[in-house]
């Protein structure tokens, strides 16, 4: 690859990528046609009570799930250890999420309409030229978004508990309840008080290190380490980032991901990630700061954050009446590292399947109800995950490949297809790699 020109390389990479993507898509369609989920025809009525579901984890997946369950007539308990959680997350959300989840505009820090993609040789391409006047990428702080979704769940009737999930005991027989063990931090107690709770079903929304996943032997997955610093920069420098975000690619900032500078309310988030070279993450972070030096020079680091990010779905995402959503299930896209929308969407879809299967909380559910959520989610979003997996393998494998990728991003047709797919999370007619970004 190193010997080809950028233009020739771009053509070769496009051909390799399109062929791989189309073949994978064809194989998946055959697989989905063969997969038939048979839901139970009958489930017992619950005597004098409602179906009770515990949601473990209060991020976007857990908050969306808890709200949907509570609104659907299910007795809902949400357990979250860190109510002020600040996950090291770029915080970008697509436009469709604002409307689909009814997010108020005041929780969105910035509306990004200008995105710079910067190559290893520092060639910068503006990739927001095709956005319409009312279109933007929302930038949020996770502690603000997560708290809002939890509060809305509580207003809908969910009980929110500040606690740490410890262990899950399996039912002793059919239609018997699960027993949850957790530490309750009522009143801000540091040690927590150990408590137990019996529930009919569990939604694991407790992130990449999910204890719920371990409880059902869901299997491991490869993960990336994301490292991010919140940097307070001078007001005159912040003007540059009012509507602009930057993405840096190159072996210096990450051998298999990208570095970013994303604007927030009064600071910028500067970060990077890697799967293959986790031990060098601070070196890559220093390189990201160096690449953005002229624009963030003199800034003060006000917070440092690091966290694992899953690279693919877990081998098992449900067992019995337990299902995984969000990062716990592994719903983060390759190449772009996007996870917020898919977390909230999976939480809502899982909860909808429970509400439907239980007839608004009046009947017991079984594993087939949760399988319907998985089948629907995979049918809607599998092409996005697969294509972005291929995109990462093709374009992130060397600096010449990244140069070719950035050159491709200058094409207005490529930009339009990419942004339309990202903003609205729909498959856009056109080249197969434009399913999402």
In this predicted model, what pLDDT tens digit does every residue of 124-147 receive, in sequence order?
999 988 899 999 999 999 999 999
Query: What is the edge-to-edge ordering of all strands in the sheet holding 110-112?
Result: 92-93, 137-139, 110-112
Whether the CA torsion 405, 406, 412, 415 is positive or negative: it is positive
Helix (H) or strand (E) holding 8: helix 6-34
d(CA 437, CA 432): 12
Question: What are 201's strand-pairing partners?
Answer: 53
What's the mean pLDDT when you consider all of the chain? 87
Backbone dihedral angles phi then psi of residue 320, each to the nearest 5 degrees: 60, -125
pLDDT digits (tens, 9 = 90+) for 195-207: 999 999 999 999 9
Answer yes or no: is 231 within a domain.
Answer: no
pLDDT digits (tens, 9 = 90+) for 317-352: 999 999 999 999 999 987 778 899 999 999 999 999
Global confidence as pTM? 0.88
Judge whether 221 and 309 are in contact, CB under 8 Å: no
Q: Which residues touch 415 (CB under 8 Å, ≥6 apart)?
A: 127, 128, 129, 130, 409
pLDDT grade, residue 416 (50/70/90)?
Answer: confident
Asked if pLDDT for residue 52 goes beyond 80, the answer is: yes
pLDDT grade, residue 428 (50/70/90)?
Answer: low
| Sequence-separated contacts (24+) of 298-301 with Cβ below 8 Å | 298/233, 298/234, 298/237, 299/231, 299/232, 299/233, 299/234, 299/237, 299/267, 299/268, 300/231, 300/232, 301/229, 301/230, 301/231, 301/232
Answer yes or no: is 14 within a domain.
Answer: no
d(CA 120, CA 418): 21
pLDDT grade, residue 29 (50/70/90)?
Answer: very low
Do β-strands 254-263 and 244-250 pair in parallel, antiparallel, or remain unpaired? antiparallel
How many degrees, rounded to 5, is the angle at CA 44 between CA 38 and CA 46? Answer: 135
Answer yes or no: is 364 within a domain.
Answer: yes
Which of 29-33, 212-216, 425-429 is the most confident on average? Answer: 212-216
Domain membership of residue 163 as a residue range: 52-88+143-220+312-382
Asked if pLDDT for residue 10 goes beyond 60, the answer is: no
Exposure of 201 by Cβ count < 10 A (0-12 exposed, 13-18 middle, 19+ buried)?
buried
Answer yes or no: is 71 within a domain.
Answer: yes
Asked if pLDDT for residue 88 goes beyond 80, the answer is: no
Answer yes or no: is 348 within a domain.
Answer: yes
Asked if pLDDT for residue 431 goes beyond 60, the answer is: no
pLDDT digits (tens, 9 = 90+) for 359-413: 999 999 999 999 999 999 999 998 888 878 887 888 888 999 999 999 999 998 8
pLDDT at 397: 86
pLDDT grade, residue 305 (50/70/90)?
Answer: very high
Whether the CA torsion 105, 109, 115, 119 is positive or negative: it is negative
- Domain CATH code at residue 377: 3.50.50.60
Which of 27-31, 96-100, 431-435 is the most confident on average? Answer: 96-100
The tokens for 187 are 């009143």
Cβ count near 167 (within 10 Å): 12
Answer yes or no: is 43 within a domain.
Answer: no
Closest listed residue to residue 122, CA positions, set 247, 271, 296, 267: 247
Answer yes or no: is 355 within a domain.
Answer: yes
d(CA 389, CA 333): 8
Lowest pLDDT segment from 61-75, 201-215, 246-260, 403-417: 403-417
pLDDT at 23: 52
pLDDT at 436: 35
Whether the CA torsion 403, 409, 410, 414 is positive or negative: it is positive
The tokens for 387 are 């294509």
Answer yes or no: is 423 within a domain.
Answer: no
In Å, how far are 188, 244, 375, 389 from 407, measured between CA atoms?
53, 19, 37, 20
- The total of structural domains in the chain comes to 1
Which residue did the predictor score with more confidence, 287 or 38? 287
Closest listed residue to residue 161, CA positions, set 253, 248, 62, 279: 62
pLDDT grade, residue 191 (50/70/90)?
Answer: confident
């Amino acid at each position: 690859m190193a010997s080809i020109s950028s233009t020739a390389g771009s053509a070769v990479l496009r051909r390799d990528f399109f062929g791989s993507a189309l073949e994978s898509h064809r194989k998946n369609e055959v697989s989905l046609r063969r997969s038939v989920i048979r839901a139970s025809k009958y489930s017992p009525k619950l005597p004098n009570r409602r179906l009770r579901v515990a949601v473990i984890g209060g991020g976007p997946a857990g908050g969306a799930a808890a709200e949907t369950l509570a609104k659907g007539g299910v007795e809902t308990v949400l357990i979250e250890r860190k109510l002020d959680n600040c996950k090291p997350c770029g915080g970008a959300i697509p436009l469709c999420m604002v409307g689909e989840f009814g997010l108020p505009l005041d929780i969105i820090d910035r509306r990004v309409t200008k995105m710079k993609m910067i190559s290893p040789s520092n060639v910068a391409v503006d990739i927001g030229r095709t956005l319409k006047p009312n279109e933007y990428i929302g930038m949020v702080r996770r502690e603000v978004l997560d708290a809002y979704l939890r509060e809305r769940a509580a207003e809908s009737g969910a009980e929110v508990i500040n606690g740490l999930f410890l262990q899950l005991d399996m039912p002793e027989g059919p239609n018997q309840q699960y027993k949850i063990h957790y530490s309750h931090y009522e009143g801000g107690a540091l040690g927590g008080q150990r408590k137990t709770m019996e529930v009919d079903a569990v939604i694991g929304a407790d992130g990449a290190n999910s204890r719920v996943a371990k409880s059902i032997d869901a299997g491991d997955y490869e993960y990336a380490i994301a490292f991010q610093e919140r940097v307070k920069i001078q007001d005159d420098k912040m003007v540059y980032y009012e509507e602009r975000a930057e993405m840096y690619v190159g072996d210096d900032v990450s051998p298999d991901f990208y570095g970013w500078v994303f604007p927030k309310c009064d600071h910028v988030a500067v970060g990077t990630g890697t799967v293959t070279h986790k031990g060098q993450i601070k070196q890559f972070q220093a390189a990201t700061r160096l690449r953005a030096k002229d624009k963030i020079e003199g800034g003060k680091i006000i917070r440092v954050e690091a966290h694992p990010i899953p690279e693919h779905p877990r081998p098992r995402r449900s067992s019995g009446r337990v299902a995984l959503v969000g990062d716990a299930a592994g719903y983060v896209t390759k190449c772009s590292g996007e996870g917020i929308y898919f977390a909230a969407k999976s939480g809502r879809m899982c909860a909808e399947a429970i509400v439907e299967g239980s007839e608004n909380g009046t009947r017991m559910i079984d594993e087939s109800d949760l399988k319907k959520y998985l089948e629907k989610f995979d049918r809607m979003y599998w092409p996005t995950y697969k294509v972005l997996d291929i995109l990462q393998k093709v374009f992130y494998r060397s600096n010449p490949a990244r140069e070719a990728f950035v050159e491709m991003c200058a094409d207005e047709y490529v930009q339009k297809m990419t942004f339309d797919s990202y903003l609205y999370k729909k498959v856009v007619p056109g080249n197969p790699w434009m399913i999402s970004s």
